[in-house]
Amino acid sequence: MTLTAKELVWVQDSLGLGAHVISAHRMPTSATQKDRILAQTSEGRVSVVLRRYHDADQLGADPWYDPAKEAAVLWLLEPEDVPSPRLFAADIQGEHCCVPALLESFEPGEPCWHPRNVDTYLRTAAEVLVRIHDVPPKDVPDYEPYTPAGKAKPPPWTRDQVMWERVLEILDEPWPGGPSTFIHRDYHPGNVLWAGGAVSGVVDWLHASVGSPMVDVGHCRGNLGDAFGMCAADRFLELYLAASGRDDEYHPYWDVAAALGGLREDDPWAPAAERFLAHALDARAG
C-alpha cells in the first residue's frame, strides 16, 4: 500500500459511505505524483487516481501548476461531451495528503503511437478537439504563449538564419485575430488515450485556458509532425477545419508559438522543431 493512513481515510471518505480501498500502487511520476487505487464502493468497484502536486518549488513559481485551477476545469468538463477524468474530491490545501492533491477517475487506454490507419486516427483526434472547443469557457485564465516575444532566439547550431529571422518576425507580430474558445493548451498524442480503436480519455488539463482554438491546432501539429511526419500535421489541420466548420485562414504564428513553446537550446526536440518550422513557413509561403 502506497497511501499514508490520512490519505487512505480521505480517499475512502471521498468515495462514499462504506467505501474501502482494495489496493494502491505508484504510477510513473510526471508533473504530479500519482497512485492508481482500486476501491470497493456501494456502486461496485472503481479505479481512481490520486494525483499529488508534489513539487513545492513549482507550486510557488509556476502559475499553471495550480491544483485549484485544474479542479475547476474538471468540474467544468463533467457535464460536457468530452472524454475526461471525473473529479471525486480535491485537497487543495494539502490537509489530508500533505501536499495539494486531486482524486480523479482512472481513464483506461493509452496513447496511440502506431495507429493502423493514420487518417482515421487524425480525423478522430480532430473531432475530439472540436468537442473540447465547444465547451463553454468559465473561470479559466486567458491564453499566454509559453515563449513571449523578445525571449526567443535562434539556436547556435542552426544553419538556417534566414528562416529564423522570419520566425522571430512572426513571433513579434500581434496575435492573429479570430474567435476565442475553451482550449486544452497541451493537446497532443501523448495526452489522448485510446482503447478499442476510440478515444477513451483526454488528460492533463493543467494548462486549460481561453484563447484561439488554433493554439491547440498548432501545438498538436508540432507534435504530429515529430511523431508521424509533416504530411500528418498538414492533414490534421485540414481535418480540424472541416470538422469545426471554421474557414479561418491558418496563420503561421500558431506553428511558431507551438514550436518555440518552452524550447531550450539543448532540447533534444530542437532539431525536429526547426524542421517543423521550416516546413510550416514554406507551406504558408507556397
* Residue in this structure with the C-alpha cell 485537497, named with its chain if needed: 91
Check residue 161 and give its pLDDT: 84
Check residue 230 and give its pLDDT: 93
Element (H, E) at 9: helix 5-14
Measured between alpha carbons, how far is residue 125 from residues 76, 100, 112, 151, 221 in Å? Answer: 21, 31, 11, 32, 11
Give the angle subtended at the CA of 282 by the CAs of 120 and 177, to the nearest 5°.
80
Assigned C-alpha cell, 113: 503511437
Lowest mean pLDDT among 5-14, 27-36, 205-214, 256-265: 256-265
Check residue 159 and give its pLDDT: 76
The 10s digit of each residue's pLDDT in 114-144 is 999 999 999 999 999 999 999 999 889 999 8
Q: How many CB atoms lie within 10 A of CB 223?
A: 23
pTM metric for this prediction: 0.91
- How far is 51 from 55, CA to CA, in rounded Å? 12
Check residue 249 and give its pLDDT: 78
Confidence of residue 42 (pLDDT cuts 50, 70, 90): very high
pLDDT of 156 strictly over 90: no
Q: Which amino acid is at 279?
A: H
Looking at residues 245-271, what average pLDDT do you find?
80
Looking at residues 261-266, what average pLDDT do you find?
70
- Structural domains in the chain? 5-105 (3.30.200.20), 118-285 (3.90.1200.10)
Give the angle subtended at the CA of 86 by the CAs of 132 and 81, to the nearest 5°.
30
Using an 8 Å Cβ cutoff, are 112 and 201 in contact?
no
Q: Which amino acid is at 70?
A: E
- How far is 262 from 120, CA to CA, in rounded Å? 30
Check residue 151 and give its pLDDT: 61
Check residue 15 and give its pLDDT: 97
- How far is 255 from 252, CA to CA, in rounded Å? 5
Check residue 118 and give its pLDDT: 97
- How far is 193 from 165, CA to CA, in rounded Å? 37
- For residue 234, the SS3 value is helix
The 10s digit of each residue's pLDDT in 211-257 is 999 999 999 999 999 999 999 999 999 999 999 998 777 888 899 88
pLDDT of 285 strictly over 70: no
pLDDT of 168 strictly over 90: no
Looking at residues 198-207, what average pLDDT do you find?
94
Check residue 282 and give its pLDDT: 79
